[in-house]
Structures are given as C-alpha cells and as structure tokens.
Amino acid sequence: MAAAAATAFSCSFASPRHRRSPTTARASGAAVEIRVCTNRTCARQGGREVLAALEGLAPPRVDVASCGCLGRCGAGPNFGASVSGGGAAVFGHVGTAARAAQLLEHLLGDSGFDAAAGLAALAAREKAEAALEKGGAAEAEALLTEAIEMNAGGGLHLAYRSRSRARLSMGNITGALADAEEATKIAPKFPQIDGGPEDCPTRRGVCFVTNKKKQ
C-alpha cells in the first residue's frame, strides 16, 4: 500500500525525513480526516469521483473534503489521511471507489468499516436515488432497506435520509420521521434535508430536522 506519512495533517505534508505512519483509528474510535486532491492532474485521474465515493462510504466520524495538491503529481488520484492522536499519510493511485473503500477499511479497521459491504450499500443507495428521481419511491425504499441492512459501518445516515425522502413521497409520514430521527441520531451535524421545507418530516407541524414551524 503506497503511502508517505507526516506528523501533522494539512494539504501540504511535512518533508520525508519527518514522516511516520498513521496510527490506526480502529481501537479508539478516534476522529479521522481525509482530504482528496482535486487539483488539475488528480481531477483528470478521477479525484472528484473518488471524493464523491468517499463521501458516500465514510462513517460520520470521518471528515471527508477536497484539497489542493498533495505533492505527488502523476501518482494520483492522491488522498491524505490523518488520525486524531496519530500520524498522517498520503496514499497514491486511489483511482476507484473500491481502492478508496479498501483504504478506509485499513484506516478504521474491519470492525469499523467493511469495504465489501460498503461498496454494495453505496451501489444500492445510488440505484435507489436514481429510482427516486424517476418517481419509483417503492423501489427506492426497498433498495435503501437493503443498504441499511448491510450495516457496512459507513453511509448509514445517508441511507436513512434517502429512505426518509422515499417514504415521505409515498405518504408514510411516520416512517419518514422515524428515518429522519435515525439519520440525525447517527450523524447529528449532517444536514438531513436536501430540498425545501416541503421535504421536511414534521411533528405537530414542526420540522424535526430544522426545529422550525413548517410554512
């Protein structure tokens, strides 16, 4: 597994003589940061697609975002990872969702994230969201239920959020609210509403997510 590590995480890593491998986050449940280079060269090699895959795969405690050049142009797409209380590393040739999932499992441990289940759940969720866009709410709900039951360790809040939307469009307000609550429980800081106020499940006329009176 190609990696170069540093003692402090940023989009510019320390020089090679100061590098050390990151401590695995699996034992402590430590916070993890991942930064994916979306600069010109890495973007051409699929950096933005890898970023989107990681955003869909990662558990809420993993902060995923884009960044500028990580200094390994031509060996990309590159991503940097740091573990709270540990070290940091740059991983090269992360050109597919499968490779990104493998590295996520490496960082979190197989008890914190299951790469195979994560990829299967991501595929099911993407298929469900496509079905929902075409008005296939029942199909989307079934696919999202499958994704949730895979219990991959990541992306679960996204599956609950999407299933909440599917159930809301089917008129299942109780189910939609339950899923919105579950998504918020898993990822309290993550925005659960994609659309406008009409997409918000309510309790007594108050949006559960925004805690504001629905207009």
Reported confidence tier of residue 19, pLDDT bands at 50, 70, 90: very low
Last residue of a domain, one of 58, 80, 108: 108
**The pLDDT of residue 84:** 79
Domain match, 96 and 191 both: no
Last residue of a domain, one of 47, 82, 108: 108
C-alpha 80/C-alpha 76 separation (Å) is: 11
Domain match, 12 and 101 both: yes
**The pLDDT of residue 157:** 92
Q: Is 59 helix (H, G, I), strand (E, B) or coil?
A: coil
Is residue 215 included in any domain, yes or no?
no
Domain match, 83 and 103 both: yes
Quick one: average pLDDT of 102-110? 89
Query: Scanning the structure block, which residue is given the tokens 């989009």?
Result: 11
Domain match, 103 and 122 both: no
Q: Are 29 and 61 in contact (CB under 8 A)?
A: yes
Quick one: average pLDDT of 73-99? 88
Is residue 212 included in any domain, yes or no?
no
Closest CA to 209 of 81, 17, 195, 16: 195
Domain match, 99 and 140 both: no
Domain span holding position 128:
115-207
CA 108 to chain CA centroid, nearest Å:
13
Residue 212 — φ and ψ, nearest 5°?
A: -120, 150
Quick one: average pLDDT of 48-66? 93
167-208 pLDDT, tens digit each: 999 999 999 999 999 999 998 877 644 444 445 555 444 454
Reported confidence tier of residue 109, pLDDT bands at 50, 70, 90: confident
pLDDT above 90 coverage of the chain, percent? 56
Query: Scanning the structure block, which residue is given the tokens 């402590």?
Result: 28
CATH number, domain of 190, equals 1.25.40.10
Domain match, 200 and 166 both: yes
- Contacts of residue 88, defined as CB under 8 A and 6 or more positions apart, other chains included, come to 5, 6, 7, 8, 9, 13, 22, 80, 81, 82
Domain match, 93 and 124 both: no
Is residue 213 included in any domain, yes or no?
no
Domain match, 81 and 7 both: yes
pLDDT above 50: residue 3: no
In sequence order, what are the beta bridge partners of 67?
Answer: 37
Domain match, 66 and 159 both: no
What stretch of H or E contains 43?
Answer: helix 40-44
Last residue of a domain, one of 90, 108, 126: 108
Domain match, 149 and 197 both: yes
Domain match, 49 and 130 both: no
| Overall domain count for the chain | 2
Average pLDDT, the chain: 80
CATH number, domain of 30, equals 3.40.30.10
- Contacts of residue 96, defined as CB under 8 A and 6 or more positions apart, other chains included, come to 46, 50, 53
Domain match, 92 and 132 both: no
**The pLDDT of residue 13:** 39
**The pLDDT of residue 158:** 93
Mark out the alpha helices in 96-188 (DSSP H runs): 97-108, 115-133, 137-150, 156-169, 173-186
C-alpha 201/C-alpha 194 separation (Å) is: 12
Quick one: average pLDDT of 51-70? 92
